[in-house]
Amino acid sequence: MPFVWLSSSPKSREGIRRKDEAATMTYKLREKRMTMAPSRGCDWFANDESAFIGSSSCRMKHKTSLPSSSTFPLDARNTGGSRVSNVSQANPRVPRLDEPFLYDIPADLNPLYQTPPLLLRLVIWASSALLAGREFISQVVSAASVSQITCSIREQAPATLARKVAAYFLRYLLFATIAKLSIQERFFAPSRVSTKYLVDNDQLPSELSRYETISPRSTWGETREVHEEIGVHSIQYTKSVEEKQEDGEPLPKFDGIFLHHGFGASSLSWIPVLPSLVDKLGKGGAVGIASDNPGFGFSDRPDGDTDAGLAQYSSEGNAGIALSLLDRHVSQEKDDKSRSVAIFGHSMGSKAALLMALTCVKEPRLKLKPSLLVLVAPALEGLALPARKSSTTKSKSSQTNRGWLRSKLSLIRVLLRKVFLDYPIQFGLRRLVGRAGFWRKGLELAWGSGHLSDSDVLRFEWLFKLECDRDSEE
């Protein structure tokens, strides 16, 4: 199985660029999209400005918009109850010119915190000033004359007067900040909707978006069971069966391609490269899939305070989800041979990619053959082997007593963590990412580039500024 290790450093990317453009990771998106997509003549991995693992979108050379009626349906052979975000003819959503597989945030959803009206802000400032200086106001009301107030102020030492003035301004800032945040959070907060709401209203971020409920498969070396059903959002692109091979192109190899995103990203990070990879590396009818790992994007977020829920967030859980999606959507060969797949992993997703490849090799029943494994800027750790069974046995009574005590202590620990850590951090992050320009400035700082397209920023704004609440029932 070929193995490719790519680094995200500028020097490494420059070395990759100077290699033969016919290498494995150098592709061009075909301009023959017929009615499925606009013509896009651009090199995806040809230079540092290209869409290298979703870092920056291709600048369109042919600004042709998609027909409003065009869709990208998967083959109907393995729908598995998946929900597809189709474009409604009554209210069509127009894809972006610079990224035709990505939609803008719907107009009825507000991604930012709104500034309260000026009159309301004046009321907040005045109320905070009166509340902070209530002691001084009471002295003024009880004083017989203005001269008496002046004399009482002059009689105080300068240091005492300075402390009182500083305390007043601190109280004023505290009261004004609490009042503003409370009112803004209650009446001027960003839209927070569930994934179910987006699916029911055809408002998922891409025409390639799919949302379906699956049961993760077991993975090799699994130290915890991850088998509970979970709702997963993914982007899926299917290569046309009728497309013919272009002259001079290498023969396609794979029946399916899967891509794992990194920490803080989502399946939307792969939108600029997924169609290109599938068209270049896939056979006719090949399927490319990139899913949102639990805790990221629009996939469900299980309860992390339970063992079963916490296991869903592990790399084993991510690999199990990927195996289930591939097994469901990649067609079976007529002669019952193994289906050839290519697996990509970026950063944190590299471990899940490795687990996928190992599981496919160790489990012939899956009939998935990992023929190519590509890791981009991998963030890896040692794979945990299955725990050995203990040779010593403990009494059931001691285990029961310790189990009861541990459960009580765990409950107290979870409560304290939520009150003093989880809720304050969540509130702070919501306020931070709900500010205008946050993601553009943050991505420019992280990527070291000031030439980001609006689509580069939008792929992150979709996820964090909408702050989709999986537990809400809209």
Given the structure tokens 């079976």, which residue do they identify? 332
pTM of the model as a whole: 0.72
pLDDT in single tens digits along all 474 residues of the chain: 666 655 554 444 444 343 334 333 333 333 333 333 333 333 333 333 333 333 333 333 333 333 332 233 333 333 334 444 443 434 567 888 888 899 999 888 888 889 999 999 999 999 999 999 888 787 777 766 777 777 777 777 788 888 888 999 999 999 999 999 999 999 998 888 888 889 998 999 999 999 999 999 888 766 556 668 899 999 999 998 876 555 556 666 899 999 999 998 999 999 999 999 999 999 888 999 999 999 899 999 998 888 788 888 988 899 999 999 999 999 776 667 888 999 999 999 999 999 999 999 988 888 899 999 999 989 877 655 554 444 444 455 555 566 778 788 888 888 888 888 888 988 888 888 888 888 888 888 888 777 788 899 999 888 764 554 444 444
Contact assessment for residue 28 and residue 42, using Cβ atoms and an 8 Å cutoff: yes
Rounded CA gap, 247 and 147, in Å?
Answer: 98
Pairing of strands 83-84, 254-260: unpaired
Continuous H helices in 363-447: 396-417, 423-433, 438-447
Which of 40, 92, 98, 42 minimizes the C-alpha distance to 70?
A: 92
Which residues are 161's β-sheet partners?
none
Is residue 265 within a helix (H) or strand (E), and if so which, with residue range? none
Residue 212 phi/psi, 5-degree rounding, is: -150, 160
370 by DSSP, 3-state: which?
strand
Rounded to 5°, the CA angle 165-167-172 comes to 95
How large is the angle between the packed helices 118-132 and 158-187, nearest 10 degrees? Answer: 140
Task: Give me the sheet containing 254-260, strands edge to edge.
Answer: 3-6, 368-376, 339-346, 254-260, 282-291, 230-238, 209-214, 83-84
Residue-wise pLDDT for 207-216, tens only, equals 999 999 999 9
Residue 334 phi/psi, 5-degree rounding, is: -65, -35
Structure tokens at 227: 């088998």
